Structure formats: C-alpha cells, structure tokens
Amino acid sequence: MSEAQQRLREINWKTDLSGGIQRVAIAHGLAPFGNGKARCNVWNYPDPVPKHREPLYTPRRDLLTQYRTYDDKRHWRLPALFWSIQQKDFSTQFPLVLTSGRLVEFEGGGDETRAIAWLAEFQQQMFAEINPADAQRAGISNGAFIWLATPEGARVKVAALITPRVGPGTVFMPFHFAGWWQGKDLSSRYPQGTVPYVLGESANTATTYGYDPVTYMQETKTTLCQIERA
Amino acid sequence: MSPYRIGGGIAALVLAVLLVVVTVQWLRYSDLVWPTVSIGPTTQPSGSSATVGQSTASEPSVTDVLAERTRLQADEANRKPSGENENFVFQRGVSNGDSIAREWLQQAAEQHELLTPPRDVSGLSSLPYRNADRLEQPEGRDWRSEHNSPVRFGGSWLIFGISLALALFLFARGRIQIVEGRSGETVPRFNAIERANHWMTASAFIIMGLTGLVILYGKPLLLPLIGEHGLGRVAWWSAWLHMSAAVPFVLGILVMAVLWLRENLITRLDLEWLRRFGGFLNDDPHKPSADRFNAGQKLVFWGVFLGGLAALASGLALMFPFHWLGYHGMQWAQLMHAIVGLLMVALIIGHIYIGTVGMEGAVDAMWSGRVDRNWAKEHHDRWYARIINEWPRRPSRPATPAE
Amino acid sequence: MARMKFLCDADRCIECNACSVACKNEHQVPWGIVRRRVVTINDGQPGEKSVSIACMHCNDAPCAAVCPVSCIYQTDIGVVLHNKDTCIGCGYCFYACPFGAPQFPRTSNFGTRGKMDKCTYCAGGPEVTHSDAERSKYGQNRIAEGKLPICAEMCSTRSLLAGDGEIIAQIYKERVARRGYGEGAPGWSTAYADKRNVRS
C-alpha cells in the first residue's frame, strides 16, 4: 500500500478539519454537503424533486419571485396556510431572523432534565443568543433581560447572551425551558414539590405558524422577531 | 548597672539569636511541596515507607493497574474497563518525598513540546458563578512565592529586628528617668473616655495581632507543636476572633480620630523633636519641645489610624472575596493586609515599649489618666504650660516639705 | 511510580459537559460547587476551543504551599487531596490556584467561606478508604479501586485524558502527529513545569 493510501486510511472524515473534502466537492461544482444530486423523483410529494422555498416569515422579500412558498392547501379537512401568510411583509416590524435549537444539557420540553440538579446547574437560565452588532443597536448588554416579540403577537422575556456565535441578523433560542409565560413566573402553578430547578420562557410560545407540507410538522426553526431591552 | 539595662541586654541577646535563626532559615528556604502520603496494596506493611516503584511480589502495583487503564484511552473504540476492581489504600509516610517532587519537575521540563506558555486565559462558561470563565491565572504562583517568602520571613525579620533595636536601646540607655524626679503632684492627661477607648482599641489590636500571626505563622511555628488538628482548631478560632475584634478596633480608631486628630497634626516642633530623637539619646535635661503629643506619638497615631483604615479596606476585600476585586486585586489585598498588619505590630511593639518599660511615668497617662508634673514639664512642656493655665493647681497629695 | 495528570485535548472537546455532569453525579456534589467545568475560548469565532478544567494536581502545588493550616497534601502518585476537618475556609488556596479549582459553599467570608471542596482525582480524602465518611465528605474513591477519574472515562470524544502522565502525554503527541495540529496541553506548563515565578 502506498504512503498516500496509508495516510488516507488514517484520516477520519468526522474529525478532519483540513477542509480537503470540501474543496474537492466545490471544485467539482457540488455543494460540500450532501451529494448535490437528487437521487429520486417522489411523484406524490408537493415538490417531486426538492426545491428551495422561502419560509413563511422571511426578511428576504426579493427571493419570493423565484422561491415563493406553496398556495394555501387543504388536505381532507385540514387547512394549511402558506402563501396567504408569506405575502404579508412583517420584516419591517420584525427585522431579525429567529431560530431555535437544542442545548446539550437538556432534552425535549425540559421538565424531566431541568429537574435533575446535575444538569440544571449548567444551564440555569433561559436565554436568547444575539449578535454583538444587533445588541449594540438595541442597547442590550450581556445578561440583561430582553423582550422578544414575534409577528403573531407573542412576547417572551429572556436573558440576552451577546455572542458572535450567531451571525448579525439572527437570534437563537433554546427550546427546553418552560414555567414562564410571557414574562410571568408560573412556578406557583406546579404541584407541591414538582417545580424543576430551572424555569424559563418556552421558545415555542414565540415561534410562529407553519407546517411541513407532507408531515405537517410545526415550523420551529425559522421565523422573524424583534428585540428590545426589558 | 540598673536592672533595666541588664534585662535589656538579655533580651537583646535572645532576639539577636532569633534574628540569626530567621536569617539562616530564609537563606536556606526551599518552598517545594512534596508528597507525604503513599498509596499501595492493602498488604503493604503498616507505617511503611516502601521505596518508590517497588511492589510486593505477586500484588499488582498502583502504577501497573492505573497505567494499563490509562492506555485504554488511546484506543478510541475500546471503552471496556479492564480486569476486576483492585483494592488500594492511602497511608501516611513517603520516604523520599522531596526527591520524588524534584523528579516530577524534571519530567515535566522534558515534555517541553507539550507546554504552552503560562498566560491569563479567559473564556465563556455556561455557569453563572464568579470566576467560572477564568481558565488560567498563573500569577497565583507568584502570589504564593510573595506570601511564603518575603512576607513571612520579612515579617518575622521586622518584628525581631524592631524588638532587638529596642532591647539594645534599653541596654545602652536604660530606662528614661524623670530628670527632676517625681514631684508627687499630678495633672490630668487623658480622661475616662480617652482611656477606655484606648484600652478597647488596644485589646482588640492585641487579639487581631495574635490571631493574624497565627494565620501567617501557624504552619511553620505551631504545626510542629500542636499538630494538624490542633492547628485547624486554633486557626479556625483565630479567623473568627480576628474578624470579630475588627469591629471594636475600627470603632476605636474612629473615636481616636475624633478625639485626637487635631492635636496630632504635624507641626514644626515635630521636626525638631525627631531631629533630637526626643532627647532620648543623651542626658541633656532640656528635652525638645512638644505639645500634647510629641512626634513619636504622632507617628503612632497616624500609623494606627491610616494603617487601620488600610487594613480595614483590605480586610473587607478578603471577607467578601471577588465582590469588588478580581484575582489580581484579591492577591494584592491579601499581601497588603499582611504587610500593613506586620508593620502595625512592629509599631505597637515600640509603642508598648516606650509606654511601659521604656520611660518612667509614661504608663500613668493611660492608666490612671494623671501624670506627674515633672514628667509633663519635661516631655510635653507646651502642653503642660497650656493646661496649668486652664486648670487650677490641684496637688494629688499634700505638698512635701522641701528636701 | 506513575504520576497522575489530566490532559484536555482542546481540539477535541465539544463542550458537551459530560465530564462536569459525571463528576457531579459520581460524588453527589451539591449545587453551587462545581469541581470540573468547561470553559470556551474565542466563543463564536474561528479558533474557538473548549477546555475542561478542574484541579490539575500540580507539581509543587501552590494551594498546598499557601494553606495556613497545611490541610492540603500530595500523594506519591501526584494526586493533591485535602482535609475538610481542618480547613478554615480562608480562600488562600483559591488565590494561589492558577485554575480556580477550589470551590466554597459560601461566597462571603463572614467567619469562613465553608469547607473547601475540589476535584480529588476520584481519590477520596483522609478518611478511611471507602468508608461512609469518605464518601460523604469527598466523594467516591475510584483510584483505590484501580480505576481512573470518572470525568475522563466518560468523555464523549476522549478529549479529556487522565492517568499516568507519561502515557497520556504520549497519546496526545501521537494524536497531534497523526492529525497534524495541536496547540499543546492547556495548563501543563503552569501545573507541572517549574514555573514558580511566572513573571520572572
């Protein structure tokens, strides 16, 4: 076996940070993720071959000519709105993109894992990650409480984590918290002795309407928001 | 030769010996931490100091077992634990601890390509606790050296040195007598409030001084005498008493400031007094002029007042760690607290000396509150001249017939 | 004799906190005291690295040197342990520790900050090995069972290595050679090399 082949055996695509694989893919005109090629034609999906469609709540109105969403649908008795929402422009009032995601310490809705002291201690507060440029514009300092509002009228009160982890124009919230409702602490509503160690706003109070066109899974990963100092 | 001079000579000898001992210790000082507890199989002979690396024949040594388990980490696929549980115990006693410690340092120096230079590193932590985001602060090692060597040894040098100087002075000059002898009549010097406050402050200072010295010198001096548990108990009480006694002390120095600050302001008289060292260096009966407080006393006043405030500030910082200061600040606060405390102890040793042994007639001032007229005329002439105008002549006992 | 050390490979740590949580669980560490924690440097920027840090069980341990009651001691395998019975909670060990390892139950010093607690390298304390007293005060004693600290054994990416210092140094060096990069072992010069006067 040649030395090059030996070396290739030692490289692990999971931990290789040299970027070689990505460069090769791009050089061949492929996106460096996936294989860049649809492998099948799913004729009974709304899009038989996947194509990009802008989210319902989007700041990129310029992309709507080419990448607009579906017309409103109805499956049997189930109506689902698409274009009737997207055609309205919410981005002037809600200029930031809001996304949600996981924390390693908690799982799911969080009432189980936030009640484990070992885990809860490492994430003691619900927060929103905000880029330093956006934070400066809004006059928000690290750790301060903010009101985060979304187009459907929700307002949640969370702590601000100012970090370059998120790009300018994007806000991230973890979704494992519960026990606060629109700024009010509801710990007294829990049965005696069941209050988890850590409470916070539920991110999906803020995320907005939207359904996957096939599974009707809720849209939690992309919407619009506005932030202000509390 | 008066008993005072003899006493001074003996004290000077003892203190000189102590000072030499301290100096020798300081020069030989090696502050290396080395292991004092060993770990081995349960069949190890009790109270053993088995030489490093030797394992009893058939028993697996700690080294072998742990080394084998360490190697598992190289193979990422294998997470199975190896073998059965061993049963080791920790025991007091390591025969060549210091050479083991030096060997470790040598090994580390040889791994130089692994070593990133020591530097302050801060990052982000999800924990909301103070200092959780600090990864490395190598200046902690600097503070350890400063504390263990210059402050500890410097402090004992200062205390023994000052005491030696006073003892030599006592030996050379003896007790400072009242030149014209006691007159038998007294004048009031310090009233009840002044005296009560002084003794409250003094008692608090003694307690704080002793407990502070326990905390600084407990390990080198007390540990060999009373052992670990003894020192733990004594030091725990010392910490509590030290902080409790701070309350009357601070109160006391504030009252002293209110009562005496005006009379302790520096004047031209003080420069002359200092130049002649109070007139203590020769037998000239005409002592330098002084008002109610002479320059020496003013030094003590300002030393205690300002030093007390500095000790209060640093002490509060130590009581509420990291509330106002970061790592650097806390390390400086501790050093400053120790240095100020040691300086004040040295100052007060001088103050106690001159107020008791060193000068005839001095202790009356703060004890009964009344001092002999001749003493007052000799050492505080301006003050005496002022008060005899304000107070009618009031002899403390009938005037004796002229001798 | 083996000299126990910790090495956190900053290029592998994914900030999962498995080490921190494993330690808390294994030793039932109360809320407010965190023996091991993960610190992320350059968060959100290129070159972001996470490091898991706890007591490094230093050579010439500065904490042991400054303790006024001499309650901190070292074993012949390098593990630094302390005696909670004689600890007076003064906090000097925290000022001296380059890594912030000593933890205290209280934040102010009214009398005392409480008994110091820190990573024991899963080696317990001065009580009788595997007794209830040892477990309740210091936690589990894995070293006496011939096992390594739970944090390293739980590490999801094998970034945190523990054990014989020579062996883990070797493992790390091999990794660095194989993948072509590696910053060095965080904290090793401060913890293990003779850098008593950092500034001089």
Give the span between the Cα atoms of B44 and B64, in whole angstroms: 16
Which of C179, C181, C183 should be substituted to probe chain A, the one whose Cβ sees the most A Cβ atoms within 10 Å? C179
Q: Compute the distance between CA of residue B294 and CA of residue A204 in angstroms, rounded to an integer.
A: 78
Residue A65 clears pLDDT 90, i.e. is over it:
yes
Q: At residue C126, what is the residue type?
A: P
Q: Kindly report the CA angle at B51 between B46 and B55, in degrees rounded to 5?
A: 75
Interface of C with A (CB under 8 A): 11-12, 15-17, 20-21, 24-25, 31-32, 34, 43-45, 178-181
Distance of CA A202 to the CA centre of its chain: 13
Cα C72 to Cα C67: distance, rounded to the nearest angstrom = 7
Q: Which residue of A has its CA nearest to B127?
A: A122
What per-residue confidence (pLDDT) applies to B250? Answer: 97
pLDDT-derived band at A217 (thresholds 50, 70, 90) equals: very high
Residue B85 lies in a domain: no
Q: Exposure of C180 by Cβ count < 10 A (0-12 exposed, 13-18 middle, 19+ buried)?
A: exposed
CB A146, CB A160: distance < 8 Å: yes
**Cβ of A124 and B124 within 8 Å?**
no
What mean pLDDT do residues C12-35 have?
A: 95
| Closest alpha carbon within chain B to A105 | B126
Q: DSSP state, B222? A: I
Q: Quick check: B118 and C94 CB within 8 A?
A: no
Handedness of CA B221, B227, B229, B233 (dihedral sign): negative
Model confidence pLDDT, tens digit, residues A48-61: 888 889 999 999 99
% of chain C beyond a pLDDT of 90: 79
Residues 6+ apart with CB under 8 A from B388: B187
pTM (2 decimals)?
Answer: 0.87
Look at residue B309 and tell me if it is in a domain: yes
Q: What domains sit in chain A, N to C, each tagged with a CATH number? A: 1-37 (no CATH), 96-229 (2.40.40.20)
Tell the residue number behind the tokens 């005498």, with chain if given.
B225
Per-residue pLDDT at A152: 95
Return all residues near C127 (Cβ < 8 A) that are at least 6 apart: C133, C134, C137, C138
- Residue B92 domain flag: no
How many residues can be counted in chain C? 200
Find the domain containing B327 and state its range: 151-390
Q: What residues of A are in contact with residue C20 (Cβ under 8 Å)?
A: 122
Q: What is the mean pLDDT of residues B185-189?
A: 91
Q: pLDDT at residue B17 above 80?
A: yes
Q: Which helix (H) or strand (E) holds C80?
A: strand C80-82
Task: Note the pLDDT of residue B80.
Answer: 64
Rounded to an integer, the average pLDDT of B292-296 is 93
User: Which token pair is B66?
Assistant: 């742990």
A114 and A199 in contact (C-beta within 8 Å)?
yes
| Within a domain: B402 | no
Which band of pLDDT confidence, cut at 50, 70 and 90, is reported for residue B75?
Answer: confident
Q: What is the ipTM of this complex?
A: 0.90
Q: Are A104 and C16 in contact (CB under 8 A)?
A: yes
Residue B230, Cβ neighbours under 10 Å: how many?
Answer: 15
Q: Assess whether pLDDT exceeds 70 at residue B392.
A: no
pLDDT of residue A17 exceeding 80, the answer is no
Q: Which of residues 114-133 of B touch A (CB under 8 A)?
A: 124, 126-128
Do C69 and B219 lie within an 8 Å CB cutoff? yes
Share the mean pLDDT of chain A. Answer: 91
- Nearest CA distance, C121 vs chain A (angstrom): 19
Looking at per-residue confidence, does B284 or A37 come out higher? B284
Q: Which residues does chain A have within 8 Å of residue B128's beta carbon, measured at their own beta carbons?
A: 124-125
Answer whether C62's CB lies under 8 Å from C97's CB: yes
Structural domains of chain C, with CATH: 4-192 (3.30.70.20)
Give the nearest chain C residue to A9 (CA atoms).
Answer: C178
Domain annotation covers residue B228: yes
Cα(A110)–Cα(C19) distance, integer angstroms = 21
* Domain containing residue B252: CATH number: 1.20.950.20
3-state secondary structure of B10: helix
Closest chain B C-alpha to C58 CA, distance in angstroms: 10
Answer yes or no: is B6 within a domain: no
Mutate to test the interface with C, among A103, A104, A107 (most CBs of C within 10 A): A104
Please provide the average confidence, as pLDDT, over all residues in chain C.
Answer: 90
Residues B66, C2 contacting (CB under 8 angstroms) = yes
Interface of C with B in 145-164 (CB under 8 A): 145-148, 152-153, 158, 161-164
Interstrand relation of C4-8 and B370-372 (parallel, antiparallel or unpaired): unpaired
Chains touching C, CB cut-off 8 Å, 3+ pairs: A, B
| Interface contact A104-C179, CB threshold 8 A | no
CB pairs under 8 A between B and C: 317
Q: For an interface test with A, which of C14, C21, C28 has the most A Cβ atoms less than 10 Å from its Cβ?
A: C21
Read off the pLDDT of residues A181-203 as tens digits, 9 standing for 90 and up: 999 999 999 999 999 999 999 99
Residue B88 φ/ψ, nearest 5 degrees? -100, 160
The set of chains that have 3 or more CB pairs under 8 A with B is A, C
* Of C68, C61, C96, residue with least CA distance to B219: C68
Q: Which residue of C has its CA nearest to A12?
A: C179
The structural domain count of chain B equals 1
Beta strands in B169-244 (DSSP E): 186-188
Pairing assessment for the beta strands A200-201 and A184-185 based on DSSP bridges: unpaired
The structure tokens listed for B392 are 């009618």
- Tokens in use for B206? 């003694």
Say if C166 is an interface residue toward chain B (CB within 8 Å).
yes
Q: Residue A160 and residue A227: Cα distance in Å, rounded?
A: 10
Please answer yes or no on whether C67 and B239 come within 8 Å at the CB atom: no
Residues of C in contact with A163 (CB under 8 A): 43-44
Beta-bridge partners for A96: A225
